[in-house]
Amino acid sequence: MYKQFLSAFENVILSSKREIEDVELVAVSKKKSIDEIQTVIDQGHISFGENQIQELESKWPLLKSNQSDLKLNFIGNIQSRKAESIHEHCEVIHSLDRIKIVKIFDKLEKSKNIIREYFIQINTGNEPQKSGVLMSQAEEFISKCLKDYKLKIIGLMCIPPVDEDPREHFLNLKSLANNFNLQKLSMGMSNDYDVAIACGATHIRVGTQIFGARN
């Protein structure tokens, strides 16, 4: 499945007049076994995403011990008591959305002298059940993060409402990122990655079209 999807993915990038190297495909490997992930690694893929701390700790030390250039992205909600493990295992963290969490990562980086890359998650649909900074609070939150803390914040992330056209949400996220000169946009999944690429996404998070349906 991976090679088939990769071909379609690259065609979408080229059709959108983008460069293939400008869009990173994050293979979302949640609920997938070490063997299933290794199959995709063996085909040349290095960027993966997880959203559960248990899976970070159970699968990735072994996988990384076999290949040191793997990049792990955390794409789930961050619990404060899990932040240290997330920082330990993941090179990129896509879901900053509370100052409390920002402060924890800031302290971890100072104490461990390990720099990670971060996205701020924006709740573009203002959905009460979903993580992310509300749009009405987004500019203030981003400004505070950039001004008061030393984290390497590279961009913004969003997950549009399932029952709305994602294009408006992707364009709103891009506009917000441009206001702060943030270069990266983590947006688009299996069902809307083509729209996200056309709107300027730099990181696409895809699971089922790479690994198949989850158990």
Q: Judge contact between 157 and 120, C-beta under 8 A.
A: yes
Q: Which two tokens stand for residue 161?
A: 């409402």
CA distances from 22 to 10, 39, 63, 193, 200 (A): 11, 24, 26, 14, 10
pLDDT at 215 over 80: no
Q: What total number of domains does the chain contain?
A: 1
d(CA 61, CA 149): 29
Query: Tell me, what DSSP letter sits at residue 155?
Result: E
Residue 145, pLDDT score:
97
Task: Give 171-206 pLDDT, tens digit per residue.
Answer: 999 999 999 999 999 999 999 999 999 999 999 999
b vs e for 111-133, b when ≥16 Cβ sit within 10 Å of the residue's Cβ? eeeeebbbbbbbbbbeeeebbbb
At residue 212 the predicted structure's pLDDT band, cuts being 50, 70 and 90, is confident
Please say whether the dihedral angle defined by the alpha carbons of residues 26, 32, 34 and 35, taken in this order, is positive or negative. negative
Domain with 181, as residue range(s), is 2-211
Please report the DSSP string for 44-97 in residue order: T--EEEE--HHHHHHHHHHHHHH-TT-EEEE-SPPPGGGHHHHHHH-SEEEEE-
Q: Which of 19, 25, 58 is nearest to 44 (CA)?
A: 25
The CATH number of the domain holding residue 172 is 3.20.20.10
Q: Which residues contact 56 (CB under 8 A, 6 or more apart)?
A: 50, 72, 74, 85, 86, 89, 90
pLDDT at 113 over 90: yes
Tokens 């690694």 sit on residue: 41
At residue 213 the predicted structure's pLDDT band, cuts being 50, 70 and 90, is confident
Task: Give 41-60 pLDDT, tens digit per residue.
Answer: 999 999 999 999 999 999 99
Residue 100, pLDDT score:
97
At residue 1 the predicted structure's pLDDT band, cuts being 50, 70 and 90, is confident
Task: Give 66-112 pLDDT, tens digit per residue.
Answer: 999 999 999 999 999 999 999 999 999 999 999 999 999 999 999 99
Please say whether the dihedral angle defined by the alpha carbons of residues 81, 84, 88 and 94, taken in this order, is positive or negative. positive
Task: Give 119-168 pLDDT, tens digit per residue.
Answer: 999 999 999 899 999 999 999 999 999 999 999 999 999 999 999 999 99
Give the count of beta carbons closer than 10 Å to the beta carbon of residue 53.
18
Residue 214, pLDDT score:
72
